[in-house]
Structure formats: structure tokens, C-alpha cells
């Protein structure tokens, strides 16, 4: 795409989504901050660490406050009106989540603490019951630690073998190697939908079909995809999907495990306590139905209600508009950053989201992040919870700028200007 073509396309995209208007909904990024470092940004923080967590709109903050001010009671227990109302709101939130990812039933939605807990739930409750010594799990080399360590722990306990789909230099998976990883002992494929280091959107639908043709279930780590692109679990036909509320405008401490009913039904609980039981004797108990079987103890009621508010907020904007806007913003960022001599990108997949890992000259990523902070710009530097990626690339860390719909083209210009300054400062 030429730059002229790009500008025209941009204008059309900006007509559909106005980041300046949307920013007003987010107190933390719309308020003016004291401090010299924000001067060139018109007194605002340039927040480019959305792959770590996103900012929260008023709609979500208000939903949390409203719950505690007006509806607070424990769920599934109380025989009084307030308790009914809390239960109703909690269960409505489950329906909102189910609709958002197009699950067949709300009972296929299990509330967890986040993507990490959702994946651990599958490793414990499904893996412990269904896997035996010698069985194999296929992962990729680009997994977040959250979709790697639970399987390592299980592999150690059960003597399983983990196999890995390798990635290529451009940050895409090497599909020529996939077929040879499957064999008669393969029991599960667990992989990220979108990489939190490269930004690559993996072609998971094809892989799911391939696995299903061998009757092997697939778990998707949707922590980065669900907040940014439309995800339809029936279209993808994944068997499990894990994601977090806090990376999609929702509160921390709430996440989701989607599981097909047949899989959830066939799993035993992995935590015991209140709410997950049907009948209890001193020596034994029977389990509640799904999803309650997997929600032991008092759940994060406010968090679930806050997540539903985040989903309503995103739906109001429109996920397709969000995706298109972020794609334009990402393309612009890469075009502009690419003009800097000495820039190096990690991950240049054609199908990608707004996660941009890079280095500049020989500036250490931590120095870079600190310098950008001195310019009022928040980015992440480090291994991004994916140390095996760093080892394979033979680098200690990358700097990562990650975008969301409230980021503006102007903020990209500020980032590029700050990167130019960094070159002068460090060289």
C-alpha cells in the first residue's frame, strides 16, 4: 500500500471510529497529568501497553460501583430479594459473555480469575482425568508462559511428551512441520490465537480442523485475540477458549473458560468448596452441574458484572470497527517506525494485531522503556512472559508497543518522535 492510498483508507476508517471521542470514556487517559514529561503530549499519558492490560471506561467503573452500592449479596444462596438480584446479574453476565463469543449455551462459560486460571483448570480437570503416561500434547514455540507451564507441570506429573510447532523468523508458525507432530498418542493441541510478542494471528481454524480429523480437541489461548478481533467459538469450532477480562476493558481478577458442554460434562472439579456441590455427606459428595462444578467458593461477582459492562461497551463500538481501526493504526505505526534507521521488528506476519515488538540500534529494551517513560509514553520491555521466544531469537528482551482502539495516530507520531530522541540520547 502506498502512503497516499494509506491516508485515504485512514480517513474512511476514522469516520467509523473516533478514538478522540472514545478516549473521553477513559478517565485515566483523558485526564491531564502534572509533570514535564507529559508536556509534549498535551498533558496526557500515551498508554501503549495494552497487551499487558487495558484501561477501563467509565461504564465499567460505574458497573462495579453500582453493584457494590445497590446489588451486593452472595450468589446462588440467598433467599431474599437482594441475593436474587445479585444472582440474576451474575448469571446475566454469563449470558453476555456467551453471546459475545457465540457459545451455544451460557453453561459453557466458566468464570475464572483470568486466562491463566482457565488454562490451569483444563490442565487439572481435563488433563489429570484423561491423560496417561506416554500421551502427547502439541503446543507452539510462541506460547505465553500461561499456556506452557501448566502443561509442563502436567507432563511431569503424568509423564507426558510435549511437542512444539516451531515459528519462523517472521513470527509465523512453520506449518510444514505440523503434520509430523501428530501421532496416535496426541491427545490435545493447546495454542495461542494471537501472539503477545509478535502480534501474529495464527490460522487456528485450519489447525482445529486438522486436529478434529484425528479426534483431538483444541484449546485456544484467546487472551490477545478476544479483546481485538471477532471470535466465534462455533465458527472456529475450538473445544476450549481461555481469556481475561482485564485485557478488554474489564476489571482484573475475572476471566473466562469456554468449554464445549460435552468436555465440561466429562471433567471432574479441580477445586472443592461451596457452590460446586450438589449433595455432601461427611465422606463423599456429588457435583453440581456445569458451569458451577468449576466455580468453587464465592466467585468474583463484581468482576463478572464489570466484564459484562466491558463487553456491552465494546459491542456498542462494534468489534469489526475496532479490528479495522487497529489494523490501520498498526500499519501506520510500522510504516512510520520503519523510517528510523536501526529499527528491527520481531514478528512481521501479514495477519497480525497491534502488538509491535521491536528494538532500535543497540539500545537495551529496558533503557528504551525508561527513556520512553521520561517522554510520558508507557510501553513494556522484557521477555513478555515468553522466555522461550527470546531464547530462540537469541535476545534478552524486546520493547513492545501494543495498541487499543483509544490510541490515536497522533500518539504513534509521539512514539516515533520519542524514538528519534532516544537515538540521539543513546548514541
Ligand X SMILES: *Cc1c(COP(=O)(O)O)cnc(C)c1O
Q: How far is the CB of 157 from ligand X (least distance, A)?
A: 21
Q: For residue 273, report the phi and psi dihedrals to the nearest 5 degrees.
A: 160, -160
Q: 343-346 and 380-382: which strand pairing?
A: unpaired
Cβ-based nearer residue to ligand X, 256 or 360: 256
Cβ-based nearer residue to ligand X, 257 or 337: 257
Cβ-based nearer residue to ligand X, 108 or 221: 221
Cβ-based nearer residue to ligand X, 115 or 211: 115
DSSP structural state of residue 39: G
**388 is written with which cell numbers?**
522461550
Q: Are 101 and 232 in contact (CB under 8 A)?
A: yes
Cis peptide before 291 (omega within 30 of 0): yes
Cβ-based nearer residue to ligand X, 194 or 290: 194
Using the rule CB under 6 A, which residue among 146, 202, 357, 399 binds ligand X?
146
Using the rule CB under 6 A, which residue among 89, 94, 144, 228 binds ligand X?
144
Q: 377-378 and 355-360: which strand pairing?
A: unpaired
Mark residues 185-224: x for contact with ligand X by CB under 6 A, - for none: -------x---x------------------------x-xx
Q: Are 140 and 165 in contact (CB under 8 A)?
A: yes
User: How far is the C-alpha of 114 from the C-alpha of 292, rounded, in Å?
Assistant: 17
Q: How far is the CB of 196 from ligand X (least distance, A)?
A: 3
Residue numbers 325-364 binding ligand X by CB under 6 A: none
Active-site residue set: 385
In terms of Cβ atoms closer than 10 Å to its own Cβ (0-12, 13-18, 19+), residue 283 is: exposed
Q: Are 30 and 24 in contact (CB under 8 A)?
A: yes
Mark residues 81-120: x for contact with ligand X by CB under 6 A, - for none: ---------------------------------xxx----
The number of residues that bind ligand X (CB under 6 A) is 14
Cβ-based nearer residue to ligand X, 85 or 145: 145
Mark residues 47-66: x for contact with ligand X by CB under 6 A, - for none: ----x---------------
Closest CA to 385 of 143, 120, 137, 112: 143
Q: How far is the CB of 50 from ligand X (least distance, A)?
A: 10
Q: How far is the CB of 221 from ligand X (least distance, A)?
A: 5
Q: Contact region for ligand X (CB under 6 A) — 35-43, 144-152, 284-292, 405-413?
A: 144-152
When computed from its CA atoms, the radius of gyration of the chain, rounded to whole angstroms, is 22
Closest CA to 117 of 13, 271, 4, 332: 271
Q: How far is the CB of 102 from ligand X (least distance, A)?
A: 21
Q: Is 122 in the site for ligand X (CB under 6 A)?
A: no
Q: How far is the CB of 294 from ligand X (least distance, A)?
A: 16
Q: For residue 360, report the phi and psi dihedrals to the nearest 5 degrees.
A: -135, 125
Rounded to whole angstroms, what are the CA distances from 291 to 217, 281, 409? 19, 22, 42
Q: How far is the CB of 53 from ligand X (least distance, A)?
A: 8
User: How far is the C-alpha of 192 from the C-alpha of 173, rounded, in Å?
Assistant: 11
Using the rule CB under 6 A, which residue among 186, 244, 327, 408 binds ligand X?
244
Neighbours of 184 (CB within 10 A): 6
Residue numbers 363-382 binding ligand X by CB under 6 A: none
Q: Are 118 and 110 in contact (CB under 8 A)?
A: yes
Cβ-based nearer residue to ligand X, 261 or 323: 323
Residues in touch with ligand X (CB under 6 A): 51, 114-116, 144, 146-147, 192, 196, 221, 223-224, 244, 255
Amino acid at each position: 500500500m502506498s502512503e497516499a492510498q494509506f491516508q485515504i483508507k485512514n480517513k474512511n476508517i476514522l469516520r467509523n471510529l473516533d478514538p478522540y471521542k472514545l478516549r473521553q470514556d477513559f478517565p485515566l487517559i483523558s485526564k491531564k497529568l502534572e509533570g514535564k514529561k507529559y508536556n509534549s503530549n498535551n498533558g496526557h499519558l500515551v498508554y501503549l501497553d495494552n497487551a499487558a492490560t487495558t484501561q477501563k471506561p467509565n461504564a465499567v467503573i460505574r458497573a462495579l460501583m453500582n453493584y457494590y452500592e445497590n446489588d451486593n449479596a452472595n450468589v446462588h444462596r440467598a433467599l431474599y430479594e437482594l441475593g436474587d438480584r445479585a444472582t440474576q446479574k451474575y448469571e446475566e453476565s454469563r449470558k453476555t459473555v456467551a453471546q459475545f463469543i457465540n457459545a451455544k449455551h451460557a453453561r459453557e462459560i466458566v468464570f475464572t480469575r483470568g486466562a491463566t486460571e482457565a488454562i490451569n483448570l483444563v490442565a487439572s480437570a481435563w488433563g489429570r482425568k484423561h491423560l496417561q503416561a506416554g500421551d502427547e500434547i502439541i503446543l507452539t514455540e510462541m506460547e505465553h508462559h500461561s499456556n506452557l507451564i501448566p502443561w509442563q507441570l502436567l507432563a511431569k506429573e503424568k509423564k507426558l511428551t510435549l511437542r512444539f510447532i516451531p515459528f519462523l523468523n517472521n513470527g509465523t508458525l512453520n506449518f510444514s512441520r505440523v503434520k509430523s507432530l501428530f501421532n496416535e498418542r496426541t491427545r490435545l493441541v493447546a495454542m495461542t490465537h494471537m501472539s503477545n510478542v509478535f502480534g501474529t494471528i495464527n490460522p487456528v481454524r485450519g489447525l482445529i480442523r486438522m486436529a478434529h480429523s484425528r479426534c483431538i480437541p483444541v484449546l485456544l489461548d484467546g487472551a490477545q485475540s478476544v479483546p481485538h478481533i471477532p471470535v466465534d467459538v462455533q465458527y472456529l469450532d475450538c473445544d476450549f477458549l481461555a481469556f481475561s477480562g482485564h485485557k478488554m476493558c474489564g476489571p482484573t481478577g475475572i476471566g473466562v473458560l469456554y468449554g464445549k458442554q460435552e468436555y465440561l460434562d466429562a471433567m471432574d472439579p479441580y477445586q472443592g468448596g461451596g457452590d460446586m456441590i450438589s449433595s455432601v455427606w461427611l465422606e463423599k459428595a456429588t457435583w453440581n452441574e456445569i458451569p458451577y462444578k468449576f466455580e468453587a467458593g464465592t466467585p468474583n461477582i463484581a468482576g463478572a458484572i464489570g466484564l459484562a459492562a466491558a463487553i456491552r461497551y465494546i459491542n456498542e463500538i462494534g468489534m469489526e470497527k475496532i479490528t479495522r481501526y487497529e489494523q490501520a493504526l498498526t500499519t501506520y505505526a510500522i510504516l512510520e517506525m520503519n523510517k528510523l534507521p536501526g529499527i528491527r521488528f520481531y514478528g512481521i506476519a501479514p495477519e497480525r494485531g497491534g502488538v509491535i515488538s521491536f528494538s532500535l540500534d543497540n539500545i537495551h529494551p529496558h533503557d528504551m522503556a525508561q527513556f520512553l517513560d521520561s517522554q510520558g509514553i508507557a510501553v513494556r520491555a522484557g521477555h513478555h512472559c515468553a522466555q522461550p521466544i527470546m531464547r530462540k531469537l537469541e535476545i534478552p528482551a524486546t520493547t513492545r508497543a501494543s495498541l487499543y482502539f483509544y490510541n490515536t495516530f497522533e500518539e504513534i507520531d509521539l512514539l516515533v518522535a520519542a524514538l528519534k530522541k532516544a537515538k540521539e540520547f543513546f548514541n
